[in-house]
Amino acid sequence: MADGLAAAGERLMALTQLLLFVVSALFLALAAFVFQAGRHNPIHRWFASFVVCAAAWTFGIAGRQWGTHLEAWNDLAFASASLLPATFFGFTFVFPTRPERLPSWTVLASLVLGGVLAVLSATTSLVYYDPEMTPEGFARKSGRLYPAFAVYLLLVFVLASATLFAKWRAARGVARVQLRYVCSAFLLFGLGAMTTNLILPWFTGLSTYSWFGPYFGVVLIGLIAHTIIRHRLMDLRLVIHRGLAGAIAAFLSFLPVALLVGFVWPRLAEHFDVSEFAVLTAAVFAVGLLSPFARAGVARLLDRYLYRTRTNYERTVRAVSTGLTRVLNMDELVTVLAMTLRDAIGPEGIAVYASSNVRLLLISSVRSLETGRFGLPEELPPALAETLARAKDAIATDHLPASASATREGQLMHALNWAVVLPLLAEDTLIGGIALGPKLSGDPFYRDDLNLLMTLANQAGVALRNAQRYAEVVVAHEYVARIVASISSGVVAVNRTAHITLFNDAAAELTGAVHADVHDCDVSVLPPALAAALKDVVRTGEVVSVPEVTLRQDTTSRPVTLTASPIHDLSGTVVGAVAVFSDLTPIRELEKERRKAERVAYFEMLASGVAHEIKNPLVSIKTFVQLLPRRQNDQPWVENFGRVTTKEITRIEKLLERLRTLGKPSDRPRVRVDLRRPIAEAVDLLKPLLAENAIKLIVKLPAEAVVTVADHDGLKQLVLNLLANAQEATPANGTIAVELATEPSAAVLTVTDSGDGIPTELLERIFDPFMTTKQQGTGLGLAISAAMAAVHGGTLRAANGPDGGARFTLTLPLAPVAPALMTA
């Protein structure tokens, strides 16, 4: 019995020693992984140093289980343990950032002190001595410096833990989560190891349970690995490949069976011999390993923990197609796309870019881990955009050739931590891009993944273009609706079936209809004139313009001007019509007020001019009349008085006659007149005067008659006035041109001189009464001419020619084909 217990004890010690070596190897693997990922980063270096010391400490404790060379193994354990608090303090000092209040020399001091204690532990008996293996386990004696050694370990550990705890309290977001796990890992490891390997031996003098202390390192390794996998501690990515994940799943599914076998082991050993028991155990284990339900369940849980997705490509494509075709809102579409990519691929981050002018700007982003490692520039780098536009295919760092990884595109993607960039294409044009971070699971992007992503990107490109156009239409519709609602003119739109689709407030006011009563109703509910115009436009596709039409509303009516135009689609088909109509009542009132104001201003100017023109003769007459009593016997003076008085009175009579002509240019009957005749007569009358002043006259009259209905003598006087005005403005050796031409419904007479022209500031006032640039002129000639033109239904316009001189244009309506009044 005693031999059996001794053998069992030896086997347990061997198993314990083996497990300690395994823990030491795990420590070394973790240290190598962290150091390799950031050998130039002080955080990585301090953490790797701590874990290497923990591995050496565990290795020393495992080695002394052999019972030989105890001093060498214990020297290794004590020396490495002396450096554990200093390296832990160094890590907490720099992670995640350096503290402001704690000086850096404290870390150096703790490291120097730890080094001194490590040397003393390995070379002297001041810390410990006389190690031995007893039936109860390992034992050793404490040296004179052991209390100082213990106090050093405790104080530095407490200082490092306090620093880490303070940083955890101040941290926010992902840093706080990381610090929470780091605090838990180091506190559990430190408290457990110090209890079994420092505090108990210090107070009891026994190291019986010191072999158990390194097993707390498994807790530290597990929590640190969990923080790396789930929260990217120190920006590390721990990749668990599919094969290893499958092995872990198989082991975990086997674990319940192993526990069950271990529980029933004593009873089974009583009824089976060794061979039978081995067969039974193998069979039970095989059933546990091959159970599909257990392995599948464990695999799903493990995949979820490792962020590994199992994508059903057909289902994903179908779901995306359904989602994208049902959404037109830009924000909802991008959300559907981003969530689908997140669930199907599980990347560290997603960034969606859409075109804005010539740039691709960020419109949406998703970060699965808020570590900040996934870059989110506001604009898609132009180099990547150019490559996408040229290649029209995905750019994946996992599939770039070795030479291409050093290119500008590869460097950009590496700096931004982007694994794939997808083009969003519409009509073979790049309109956006999608950037994906590495998979959270650490797996590469396989070719099937890229095929799926490009399929989704192609569908998303079309959907994005539709969403952009939909947004543009919504904005344009809102813009038009606001404009239509704010304008004072009535606006009515109908579709191809002549049903009302747009009816603004002004239309409601002008027609007396209520918006709610006419929307989507037939246009016949509107006033007949408006309804008829819209129906005609829908039927013919031609613009209908009515200068003035009356819209009747109950007992009142409004004059409006109406224009109805067709609405075409891209193919040119008429799909509706829109009518715009404006109330003419305010315009009519304004015209009345304008005419009234013009008449008042005209009469004011006329009265002022008449007073001025009559005042001068009256002054002369008044002067002579005042002198007449004293000089009535002066016969020459009396004769001069008679001549001057008669001259001034005649001047007043002529002025009054011209004023009468201005007020009523002609009361003679109008007949059909060939314009060439009065023009020729006026030219003949003025020819001698023109020849006397050496003025050249050019007359161009058509060969065929130009007939209008007018007063022959009045037209002759009108032309004579124009020629006389031109003669007075033309210098010697100048030229006057007279040209008569016809238009479809009017005759046009142009009289052009080669004088200095009309001053620009007087062009608009040249036909006002008493407006003249001549020293002896009355300023009534052109005013009378304009009045005579208006009496005959025509117009008289003045302008300056391009080569200098003035040009007067008389426009008169042509006579109808049938004789009017009488024929001259």
**Which residue in 584, 350, 309 sits closest to 449, CA to CA?**
309
Percentage of the chain beyond pLDDT 70 is 79
Which strand ranges, in their side-by-side order, compose the sheet holding 500-503?
A: 500-503, 490-495, 574-583, 556-568, 544-553
**Residues belonging to the chain:** 824
The pLDDT of residue 525: 86
Rounded to whole angstroms, the Cα distance separating 453 from 495 reads 43
- 730, pLDDT greater than 80: yes
Residue 103 and residue 287: Cα distance in Å, rounded?
Answer: 61
Hey, what are 132's tokens? 């031995």
**What was the pLDDT predicted at 823?**
40
Q: How confident is the model at residue 619 (pLDDT cuts 50, 70, 90)?
A: low
Q: Tell me what pLDDT residue 245 has.
A: 54
- How high is the pLDDT of residue 595? 64
Structure-block tokens of residue 240: 């668990």
Q: For 488-580, give the CATH class.
A: alpha beta
Query: Which of the two residues, 292 and 37, has the higher pLDDT score?
Result: 37
The CATH classification number of 313-472 equals 3.30.450.40
Q: What integer is the mean pLDDT of 239-246?
A: 56
pLDDT-derived band at 4, boundaries 50, 70, 90: very low
If pLDDT is split at 50, 70 and 90, which confidence band does 269 have?
Answer: low
797 token code pair: 């316009």
Helices (H), ranges, 487-584: 505-511, 515-518, 528-540
Q: pLDDT band at residue 423, thresholds of 50, 70 and 90?
A: very high
CA atoms of 192 and 84, how far apart (whole Å): 14
Question: What is the token pair recorded at 824?
Answer: 């001259």
Q: Using the 8-state DSSP alphabet, how is residue 820 labeled?
A: -
> Comparing 397-406, 407-416, 435-444, 642-651, which segment has the lowest mean pLDDT?
397-406
C-alpha distances in Å from residue 166, one per residue of 119, 159, 180, 274: 32, 11, 11, 58
- Per-residue pLDDT, averaged over 543-565, amounts to 81
Least confident of 86-90, 368-372, 464-468, 690-694: 368-372
pLDDT band at 158 (very low <50, low <70, confident <90, very high): very high
Residue 190 identity: G
Low-confidence winner among 161-165, 220-224, 283-287, 453-457 (lowest mean pLDDT)? 283-287
Task: Specify the pTM.
Answer: 0.50
- pLDDT at residue 687, as a whole number: 84
Chain position carrying tokens 């217990």: 5
Per-residue confidence band for 159, with pLDDT thresholds at 50, 70 and 90:
very high
Q: What CA–CA distance (Å, rounded) separates 242 from 293?
A: 19
CATH tag, 13-238: 1.20.1070.10
Q: What sign for the dihedral angle of Cα 385, 389, 393, 398?
A: negative
Residue 66 DSSP class: G
Q: Kindly tell me if the per-residue pLDDT of 5 is higher than 50.
A: no
Q: Count Cβ atoms below 10 Å from residue 281 Cβ, excluding itself.
A: 16
Task: Kindly tell me the number of DSSP H helices and DSSP E strands found in the chain.
Answer: 24, 19
Q: How far is 531 from 552, CA to CA, in rounded Å?
A: 13
Q: What is the gyration radius of the CA atoms in the chain, in angstroms?
A: 55
Instruction: Name the fold adopted by 671-813.
Output: Heat Shock Protein 90 (3.30.565)
CB 421 within 8 A of CB 434: yes
As a whole number, mean pLDDT of residues 405-433 equals: 85
**pLDDT by residue (tens digit) across 748-773?**
999 999 888 888 777 776 776 655 65
DSSP collapsed to 3 states, 431-459: EEEEEECCECCCCCCCHHHHHHHHHHHHH
**Whole-number pLDDT of residue 510:** 81
Higher pLDDT, 448 or 304: 448
Higher pLDDT, 516 or 574: 574
Domain made up of 589-663: CATH architecture: Orthogonal Bundle (1.10)
Structure confidence by residue, pLDDT tens digits, 323-332? 777 777 788 8
Higher pLDDT, 60 or 286: 60
Q: Among 157-161, 304-308, 817-821, where is mean pLDDT lowest?
A: 817-821
Per-residue confidence band for 284, with pLDDT thresholds at 50, 70 and 90: low
Cα(180)–Cα(173) distance, integer angstroms: 11
Higher-pLDDT residue of 755, 605: 755
Task: Look at residue 444 and tell me whether its pLDDT is greater than 60.
Answer: yes
Q: Is the pLDDT of residue 585 over 60?
A: yes
Cα separation, 740 vs 810, in Å, equals: 9
% of the chain exceeding 90 in pLDDT: 14
Residues 6+ apart with CB under 8 A from 471: 330
Of 300, 396, 306, nearest to 346 by C-alpha is 306
**Gap between the Cα atoms of 130 and 82, Å rounded:** 19
The pLDDT, as a whole number, for residue 821 is: 39
Binned at pLDDT 50, 70 and 90, residue 259 comes out as: low
**pLDDT computed for residue 820 by the predictor:** 40
Give the pLDDT confidence score for residue 28 in this predicted structure.
92
Going by pLDDT thresholds of 50, 70 and 90, the confidence category of residue 822 is very low
> What does the mean pLDDT of the chain come to?
79
| Cβ atoms within 10 Å of 270's Cβ, excluding its own | 6
Token digits of residue 322 = 């359904």
- pLDDT tens for residues 169-179? 888 767 888 88
Assign 9 a pLDDT band (cuts: 50, 70, 90).
Answer: low
Region of poorest pLDDT, from 29-33, 482-486, 501-505: 482-486
CA pair distance 405, 391, nearest whole angstrom: 17
| Residue 772: predicted pLDDT | 63
Tell me: cis bond preceding 96? Omega within 30 of 0 counts. yes
Q: Which of the given ranges, 2-11, 15-24, 347-356, 757-766, has the highest pLDDT on average?
A: 347-356
User: Domain locations in the chain?
Assistant: 13-238, 245-305, 313-472, 488-580, 589-663, 671-813
Q: For residues 394 and 433, what is the distance between their CA atoms, to the nearest angstrom?
A: 10
pLDDT band at 138 (very low <50, low <70, confident <90, very high): confident
CA distance 567 to 541: 8
- Phi and psi based region of residue 205 (left: phi greater than 0; alpha: psi -120 to 50; beta: remaining): left
Q: Express the helix, strand and coil content of the chain in percent, nearest 5 each.
A: 60, 15, 25
Shared fold status for 488-580 and 671-813: no
Q: How far apart are CA 721 and CA 326, in angstroms?
A: 80
Choose the weakest-confidence range: 85-99, 113-127, 220-234: 220-234
Once rounded to an integer, what is the mean pLDDT over residues 718-731?
Answer: 84
In terms of DSSP bridges, do strands 696-700 and 735-742 run parallel, antiparallel, or are they unpaired? Answer: parallel
pLDDT reading at 395 higher than 50: yes
